[in-house]
Amino acid sequence: MIVAIDGPSGAGKSTVAKAVAKELGFSCLDTGAMYRAIAWRALQDGVALDDESALGAIARTYDIAFGHVEGDPVPRRVFIGDDEVTDAIRTAEIDRAVSPVSAAPAVREALLDQQRRIGNAGDYVVEGRDIGTVVFPDAAVKVFLTASDEERAHRRVRQNVDRGIGSIDYDEVLADLRRRDAADSSRATAPLRPADDAVHIDSTGHYIEEVIEQICKLAREAR
Ligand code: DC
């Protein structure tokens, strides 16, 4: 069974997806991390971010894998090929590079295969931008999770402070979120948009626990 959680940057998708997966006993797949890993490889290799065929070749060549920190059921470690990039994909540099990478149709096509292969292997909570619309259009539960721009920026700053990586300047983070929303929503291939049958949840002003419970309830009802 697939629970698809889509929505803009900073809406709380990662926190919610991981908690829902833990509560339901599902695995969880962060597809944004996959685009970030491709962006990281491209920067390492000096590939121009508008060179679609070279970006596509990276996405077809490297397997992206997820791993566990001991004792934690949620896969938080990210690998591309032999390199662990768990922290390296969370920098402001990758935040900037990932939009053009994720807009490249050749990259999306290659990652679509990887995402379907992983998700079809069991019960998964899958988070991203096009999970309910393109990757798993038959998902049993589809959620479109949003929050106000300001709340999303505050949350992202707190997350970056906790992680010790990424920008902690509120105005910079807000501007970056808005820039990425615009890029994600306006790209030609698999733009960010809710599936027709998605349940919309606006988490502004709500405790994240309420959102988690609401999604778990939807999943239990869909079983
Ligand atoms: O969720 P995130 O911020 O880690 O995602 C990183 C980027 O990848 C973001 O700019 C949108 C893009 N993305 C996408 O295009 N499709 C997905 N399914 C997931 C992420």
Distances, alpha carbon 5 to alpha carbons 58, 153, 172, 180, in Å: 26, 19, 26, 18
Q: What is the pLDDT of residue 129?
A: 96
Sign of the alpha-carbon dihedral angle for 34, 117, 1, 77: negative
Q: Per-residue confidence at 109, pLDDT binned at 50, 70, 90?
A: very high
pLDDT at residue number 74: 85
pLDDT score of 72: 83
Q: Rg of the chain over CA atoms, in angstroms?
A: 16
In this structure, of 71-75, 127-131, 206-210, the range with the lowest mean pLDDT score is 71-75
Q: What is the pLDDT of residue 135?
A: 98
- When pLDDT is cut at 50, 70 and 90, the band that residue 200 belongs to is very high
Residues 6+ apart with CB under 8 A from 104: 52, 55, 56
Convert the pLDDT of each residue in 142-152 to its tens digit. 999 999 999 99
**Spatial distance between the Cα atoms of 178 and 8, rounded to a whole number of angstroms:** 9
| Environment class of 171 (CB within 10 Å of its CB; exposed 0-12, middle 13-18, buried 19+) | exposed
pLDDT in tens, 77-94: 999 999 999 999 999 899
Span from the CA of 35 to the centroid of ligand 1 (angstroms): 6
Per-residue pLDDT tens digits for 138-183: 999 999 999 999 999 999 999 899 989 888 999 999 999 999 899 9
107 C-alpha vs ligand 1 centroid, how far in Å? 12
Task: Report how far residue 133's alpha carbon sits from residue 194's, in angstroms, rounded to the nearest whole number.
Answer: 7
Distance 8 CA to ligand 1 centre (A): 8
Domains contained in the chain, CATH given: 1-9+130-211 (3.40.50.300), 27-122 (3.40.50.300)
Percentage with pLDDT > 90 across the chain: 87
The reported pTM is: 0.94
Q: Which of 16, 34, 35, 155 to mutate to test the pocket of ligand 1 (most atoms within 8 A of CB)?
A: 35
